[in-house]
Structure 1
Amino acid sequence: MEVVYPRCSGLDVHKRFVVACLSIVENGQRHKELRQVGTMTSDILALKGWLQASGCHQIAMESTGVFWKPLYHLLEDSFEIVLVNAQHMKAVPGRKTDVKDAEWIADLLQHGLLKASFLPSSEQQAVRDLTRTRMRLLQERTRLINRIQKVLEDANLKLASVVSDVMGVTGQAILQALVAGQENPECLAHLARGSLVKKEDQLQAALQGKLAPHHRMQLEELLQLIATLDHSIARFDREVAERLHQFDALIERMDAVTGLSRRSIEVLLGELGWDMSHFPDAAHAASWVGIVRCITHLSIPGAARRNSKGGSWVNCLP
């Protein structure tokens, strides 16, 4: 079999250590050298120096978990790195169970049998990290709001039966009053704002309950946690908006699509990126973000318009 890279290395990456196999082919003879190093920065830099001194220019590693990322970032400036889907590697026939992973990766790379996975640009990765973290914060905020509703139900305060959003203006005013010690249903109902002013009688009936001290303490702590999350989410919003400022025109066009909000568009840009030419068609783009049976109707340069399975992309947003 033809040797594509005479000097290359395969890395088997783990949380606490990396096994490196340096494979060198000279005069028809193959020489392999194995080393195990830690994953501290100093260890990776020592590995980098060894590979450079050996004349290695190509490296392959599996895209397992998040452990490959710091290794990739420390080595990408000096080597051509092939990041490989582990499933694709296993699909290549002929692998022996007693062959070490690092040696197997090096063998496949040396003969040009590895296909590199799509790796987003560092700018897109940053946006994706920010939008994913913001999503987790939003999910946590929802969980805390649900906990507030459970506390209210436990105290037989049926606020959610009258107010659709307990964290709206009226809901927050009533919750803050409850925390401050106000228990008079009539006084609480007078805090209604907007369209809820017409429902003061319903609010007064709903707020006749028994709020125990431990209920009040829970509400106070939950509201403080939500306020902290709101501050963090707003900071993420600003950071993401700043990083995507150059695509404001694109975001504005996409925002015209029914069902899309700015946040969901930012998530799409973080996951798909702004260069859709990486994806051959809509099916590949949908697979990348975990969407199935979708079509694209968005005016994105280079984006495929439709896939054969049908369905609506907008309605399939995660």
Structure 2
Amino acid sequence: MELKPLYHCVASLDVHQAVVIVCIIYEDEAGEIHVQLREFGAFKRDRKAMAEWVASFQPQQVVMESTGIYWKSPYAALEKQGIHALVVNARHVKQVPGRKTDIADAQWLAILARSGLLRGSFVPPQDLRTLRLISRQMQKLTGILSGEKNRVHKVLTDGGIRLAVVVSDIHGKSARNMIKGLLRGETPEQVLQYASKRLKATEEELLDALDGELTDDHIFVVSETLDHIEDLERRITIFAKQLLSKLEPYKAILQALQTIPGVDIMG
């Protein structure tokens, strides 16, 4: 397949953890094609030198594969030079036919870029990219929290406590206080004082659900897991506050998004 060039000068980056291989393909005034391959390290000074070298050619198109998280720092270095690279999906690159086996990855990327055959992925602005660190960590903590809550449910069930049968959420304020009462050694009758009047279950149903056979090991595991749950809840709240404070400049957009049915401030 013959590839027709659309650009006179392009650059491509083959990004790895410890090295960045850059290929420049350009056409001189006489119409002769030149290919330059150069290898850079992955440290800050290397990324700066790489970006300056690429910028010196004034390329019309710069492309790089979205290799894990390794593409982010070279992309930021190029951005500081005023270059907005196309971040392309590796699967898309592999689907383009015509590659020769002896061509380096960076050179093949440059050839495709020169012919306009690559489509870049969406890359948000720098400030929103950094906010992803907060939102993704918060999402990770939320997943851990869900797992820990399920663990408490399973351990209580193993100990004969069937509170989940009569209460919709055993991690609601009322149910959690009842569980903590059991962990302190209180009887089901004593624990009933923590039950909210809004619970649909009758006292008899609650007593039956709270009457189990918790061993010292059950109490230890549930107590430690509840401590972890409350710590996770506290940290998630901190992450949410930090995220919302950083999103303050986008307040109008957030409010507009919340007019969509099913879209909340945090989901």
TM-score normalized with structure 2 length:
0.85
Residue 48 of structure 1: CA displacement? Answer: 2.8
Report the AA paired with residue 35 of structure 2. Answer: K
Superposition pairs of residues 297-312 of structure 1, within 5 angstroms:
none
Could you tell me which of 9, 19, 27 is aligned with 2:11? 9
**Distance in 1 of aligned mates of 2:266 and 2:244:** 9
Letter in 1 for 2:36: E
Percent identity between the aligned chains?
A: 33
- Check 1:62–1:238 CA distance in 2 against 1; reply closer, same or farther (3 A cut): same
Determine whether 1:23 maps to 2:22: no
Change in CA separation of 1:251 and 1:46 when aligned onto 2, cut-off 3 Å: closer
2:160 maps to which residue? 156
- The 3 A distance-change label for structure 1 pair 36 and 247 is closer
- 1:95 and 2:99 matched: yes
| 1:165 CA drift (Å) | 1.0
Alpha-carbon distance, 1:253 to partner = 5.0
Question: Secondary structure at the residue paired with 1:195?
Answer: coil
Pick closer, same or farther for the CA change 1:154–1:243 going to 2, 3 Å: same
Query: What are the ranges of 5 or more consecutive residues in structure 2 without an aligned counterpart?
Result: none
Give the Cα–Cα distance (whole angstroms) in 1 for the partners of residues 103 and 40 of structure 2. 19
The 5-angstrom pairing of residues 1-318 of structure 1 reads 1-2=4-5, 4-6=7-9, 8-26=10-28, 27-52=30-55, 54-57=56-59, 58-78=61-81, 79-179=83-183, 181-196=184-199, 199-264=202-267
Distance 1:115 1:251 in 2: 29
Structure-2 separation of matches of 1:152 and 1:31 = 71
Question: Secondary structure of 1:102's partner?
Answer: helix
Deviations 1:81-139 (A, max 9, x none): 22222333334332223311101112222344433332222233344443333222222
The 8 Å contact of residues 23 and 37 in structure 2, kept in 1 or not, is answered as: yes
Whole-Å separation in 1 of the counterparts to 2:58 and 2:263: 47
Higher relative contact order (CA 8 A, sep 6+): 2
Shift of 1:149: 0.4
Post-superposition Cα deviations, 1:270-312, rounded to whole Å, max 9, x if no partner, equal xxxxxxxxxxxxxxxxxxxxxxxxxxxxxxxxxxxxxxxxxxx
Quick check: 2:167–2:201 contact (8 Å CA) kept in 1? no
| Structure 1 residue matching 2:199: 3-state secondary structure | helix
| Contact 1:131 1:240 (C-alpha < 8 Å) held by counterparts | yes
Letter in 2 for 1:83: V
AA aligned to 1:162 is V
TM-score calculated relative to the size of structure 1: 0.73
Q: In structure 2, how many angstroms separate the alpha carbons of the residues matched to 1:241 and 1:177?
A: 36
How many corresponding residue pairs? 261
1:241-268 Cα offsets, whole Å, 9 max, x none, are: 223334445544544544333222xxxx
Separation in 2, partners of 1:74, 1:25: 25
Q: Which amino acid aligns with 1:240?
A: L
Q: Check whether the contact 1:5–1:111 (CA below 8 A) recurs between aligned residues.
A: no
Q: Matches of 1:189 and 1:258 in 2, distance apart?
A: 39
Where structure 1 has 5 or more consecutive residues not aligned to the other structure, the ranges are 265-318
Residue type matched to 2:17 in 1?
A: K
CA-to-aligned-CA distance 1:211-249 (integer Å, 9 cap, x gap): 111111111211111111111211222123223334445
